[in-house]
Amino acid sequence: MNRLELINQGSQKLRNQNIKSFRLDSEILLSKILDKKREDILITLDEKVEHENILKFNRLINRRCTKEPIAYILNIKEFWSKVFRVSKDTLIPRPETELLVENLINIYKNKKISILEIGVGSGCILISLLSDLNRSKGIGIDISRKALLIAKNNAKFHNVLSKIKFFRKSFLEVFNHKFDLIVSNPPYIESKYIKNLDEDIKRFEPLIALDGGNDGLDVIRKVIYKSRKILKINGKLALEIGNKQYLKVSKILSDNNFRVEVKIQDFKKNIRCLISRLIK
């Protein structure tokens, strides 16, 4: 069987499972098995594929048929033009979060700041920030030991491990330190809506990083309350929030002496990230 025939076969299997990106996914998975760039495969479609590689490819296709995300099958995801290792212990980095990183880098460019990331996960936010903010340092905390191992490996791969300290602890345990910037992508989905999420999210991504409680704001409230105590005056809190949570989160921020300075819209024009300043 040649590459084209195998891609078509994989595509059809995925299409039968209502996976919209069936063709792209099939091509990506074959490139993984053959350890070649997808572009190189597409210009050599008539080359034969060894039987052993056909078996490996079919195993990956079968995993994707269960709706397992491509990022978890490959154990990597691109973010901020970098490649990050991910696992089922970490959320998959998303394009909206890159918009938050972009805004923060523009704000703190050429400055020396201390950063705390609450719920560091794969480390994609903190590592991306510190890769561009050369004079700054950061702390990443998470309650998941496995997530922290992933984050440390990513920091080492991107040559910023010397600029980051990782701790396995709740953000409620952070004391005796004042930061210039706190950043977090906390769980913000209402518990009752978890069941409505796409299969690839609710079955595979870590529930603890998704479930924001009854109104979706449980963890966001706690992050805001805690940040008020460990931010420097005029320090900034950068939060990713859920769709349609802007007004409620803005009220919580205002009640806790934060002033929203930047509202970041996603690609559908929904406000999805807020950057606020502690004013007193």
CA–CA separation, 233 and 228 (whole Å)? 9
CA–CA separation, 156 and 164 (whole Å)? 10
The model carries a pTM of: 0.92
pLDDT digit string, tens, across residues 128-139: 999 999 999 999
Instruction: Please report the pLDDT score of residue 174 as a whole number.
Output: 81
Paired sense of beta strands 231-240 and 258-265, if any: unpaired
Burial classification of residue 91, based on how many CB atoms lie within 10 Å of its CB (0-12 exposed, 13-18 middle, 19 or more buried): buried
> Does residue 92 carry a pLDDT above 80?
yes
Instruction: Please report the pLDDT score of residue 172 as a whole number.
Output: 83
DSSP state of 267: T
Identify the band that residue 106 occupies on the pLDDT scale cut at 50, 70 and 90: very high
Residue 99: strand pairing partners: none
> Does residue 230 carry a pLDDT above 80?
yes
DSSP 145-207: HHHHHHHHHHHHHTT-GGGEEEEES-GGG--S--EEEEEE----B-GGGGGGS-HHHHTTS-G
Q: pLDDT over 70 for what percent of the chain?
A: 100
Identify the band that residue 207 occupies on the pLDDT scale cut at 50, 70 and 90: very high
For the chain, give me the number of helices (H) and strands (E)? 11, 9
Identify the band that residue 107 occupies on the pLDDT scale cut at 50, 70 and 90: very high
Of the candidates 64, 75, 55, which has an alpha carbon nearest to the alpha carbon of residue 14? 64
Q: How many CA atoms lie within 13 A of 103 on its CB side?
A: 23
Instruction: Please report the pLDDT score of residue 219 as a whole number.
Output: 95
Of the candidates 107, 150, 149, 97, which has an alpha carbon nearest to the alpha carbon of residue 128? 97
Q: pLDDT over 90 for what percent of the chain?
A: 94
Q: What is the mean pLDDT of residues 197-203?
A: 92
Burial classification of residue 54, based on how many CB atoms lie within 10 Å of its CB (0-12 exposed, 13-18 middle, 19 or more buried): middle
Other residues' Cβ atoms within 10 Å of the Cβ of residue 268 = 8
Instruction: Please report the pLDDT score of residue 148 as a whole number.
Output: 97
pLDDT digit string, tens, across residues 40-83: 999 999 999 999 999 999 999 999 999 999 999 999 999 999 99
Reduced to 3 states, what is the DSSP secondary structure of residue 253?
A: helix
Instruction: Please report the pLDDT score of residue 12 as a whole number.
Output: 98
Instruction: Please report the pLDDT score of residue 175 as a whole number.
Output: 75
Other residues' Cβ atoms within 10 Å of the Cβ of residue 199 = 14
Average pLDDT, the chain: 95
CA–CA separation, 257 and 76 (whole Å)? 39
At 49, give phi and psi (nearest 5°).
-115, 130
Instruction: Please report the pLDDT score of residue 98 as a whole number.
Output: 96
Of the candidates 87, 84, 82, 182, which has an alpha carbon nearest to the alpha carbon of residue 139? 182
> Does residue 162 carry a pLDDT above 90?
yes
Other residues' Cβ atoms within 10 Å of the Cβ of residue 38 = 14
For tokens 């990713």, the residue is: 240
At 66, give phi and psi (nearest 5°).
-80, 0
Q: What is the mean pLDDT of residues 221-247?
A: 95
User: Is the distance from CB of 277 to CB of 258 less than 8 angstroms?
Assistant: yes
Identify the band that residue 224 occupies on the pLDDT scale cut at 50, 70 and 90: very high
Q: How far is CA 94 from the centre of its chain?
A: 5
Instruction: Please report the pLDDT score of residue 57 as a whole number.
Output: 98
